[in-house]
Structure 1
Amino acid sequence: MRLILLFGLLSISLCSSAAVYRWVDENGKVHYADEPQQNAELVEVKQNTQNTIALRETKLNSPKESELDTAVNTTITIVSPTHEETIRSNEGKFDVTVSVAPKLLRGMLLALFIDGEIKAQPQTSTTFSLEGIYRGEHAIVVKALDQNGKVLASSSPRTIYLHQATLVTRPTPRGG
């Protein structure tokens, strides 16, 4: 099997160095072929006419050391809602606003986590609009992520209480 493969590769390499023939037909059109034709002349292919590609070494766009230092020193603070704030919303709607210092680097995104689960798509905006959050106690954390999802910075957890009015009515006792 290896012998057949070796023979095939040798025959391909011999074919690739085949001669090129040029001729002009009766209409004056120039033709080229790898087989000799009537009135065809052999064209000598010079080494410097062949296409070659030189690949340059590419450098990855990695962050500069100063950018990495800034990412490590990035501070995320939840501005609103305040710690242990009670929010009243029957629809479970509220906004979370954060501040980022010094600022978000290019490629960094903010992600909002409630009770350890991501609740909003990572974004560059510092305001998250939420809805459909159920009542009760919740822990909110905002994290700065790179494009690969690696956490670069995180806020301190913020506890909030969401109250919703209930539609369940309690029966009133009847006097008897």
Structure 2
Amino acid sequence: MIIAAILAPSVGSAEIYRWVDEAGRVHFSDRWNQGSEKVSTAPKTDADAPAPALPQPDSPDVEFLGPYSALDIIAPAANETLTQQDAGLPVSLMVNPSLMEGHQMAILLDEAPLTVASGATQFRLTGTALGSHRLQVRVTGENGSVVAQSAPRRFHVRKPDEPGQLR
């Protein structure tokens, strides 16, 4: 019994060698042989396993929530026509839960990214040209990959009415 306890640590730290003979058979031994290579006996940990691939959106035109329960554009409404204003066009977003650590949010206006200051969900777009536009929210992870995105939203911008003009 005492001998087994003394030998147990040496068995756990024994080196194992692997080689293939002339007939193609694989052999293992605790002794080195010519042409053998040392085999790692360290137990694998979760740190050794590759990180699982995060799902990605199938298309840039579909909603993909990823780790969020909600990611949406509240304003402007779908196909809403807004009047161009000096103060800018109001935009309101919903992100639930709030932006996660390491994630960055960007607004895509006609496919061009506009960075949103510190995950703000209320702001104004300035300098927006007259006509139809496409707006989308995209959240990226630390490595720059898309982790969530809203469905695109179309809206329209027109000139303000002239004084006395009827609509």
TM-score, normalised via structure 1 length: 0.50
The one of 108, 128, 133 equivalent to 1:113 is: 108
Do residues 81 (structure 1) and 76 (structure 2) align? yes
Q: Superposed, which structure 2 residues align to 1:22-41 within 5 Å?
A: none
Mapped partners of 1:119, 1:155: distance in 2: 15
Corresponding letter in the other structure for 2:76:
P
Aligned to 1:158: 153
Shift of residue 127, structure 1, vs aligned partner: 2.0
Mapped partners of 1:107, 1:73: distance in 2: 13
Contiguous gaps of at least 5 residues in structure 2: 1-46, 56-64, 163-167
The one of 118, 122, 139 equivalent to 1:123 is: 118
Q: Matched residue pairs, number? A: 103
More helix by percentage:
1
Contiguous gaps of at least 5 residues in structure 1: 1-59, 168-176
Percent of residue pairs identical: 25
Preserved contact between residue 109 and residue 122 of structure 1 (Cα < 8 Å): no
Shift of residue 165, structure 1, vs aligned partner: 4.2
Higher relative contact order (CA 8 A, sep 6+): 2
* SS of residue paired to 2:132: strand
Change (3 A) 1:141 1:80: same
Preserved contact between residue 143 and residue 155 of structure 1 (Cα < 8 Å): yes
Mapped partners of 1:156, 1:134: distance in 2: 22
Corresponding letter in the other structure for 1:119:
L
TM-score, normalised via structure 2 length: 0.52
Shift of residue 103, structure 1, vs aligned partner: 2.6
Mapped partners of 2:128, 2:87: distance in 1: 5
Aligned to 2:143: 148
Once the two structures are superposed, what CA deviation does each residue of 1:82-135 show, in whole Å capped at 9, x if it has no partner?
A: 111110014481121111123321121210011111133463111232100101
Mapped partners of 2:98, 2:107: distance in 1: 17
The one of 82, 95, 104 equivalent to 1:100 is: 95
* SS of residue paired to 2:144: coil
Change (3 A) 1:115 1:73: same
Aligned to 1:47: none
Change (3 A) 1:166 1:141: same
Mapped partners of 1:146, 1:97: distance in 2: 22
Aligned to 1:136: 131
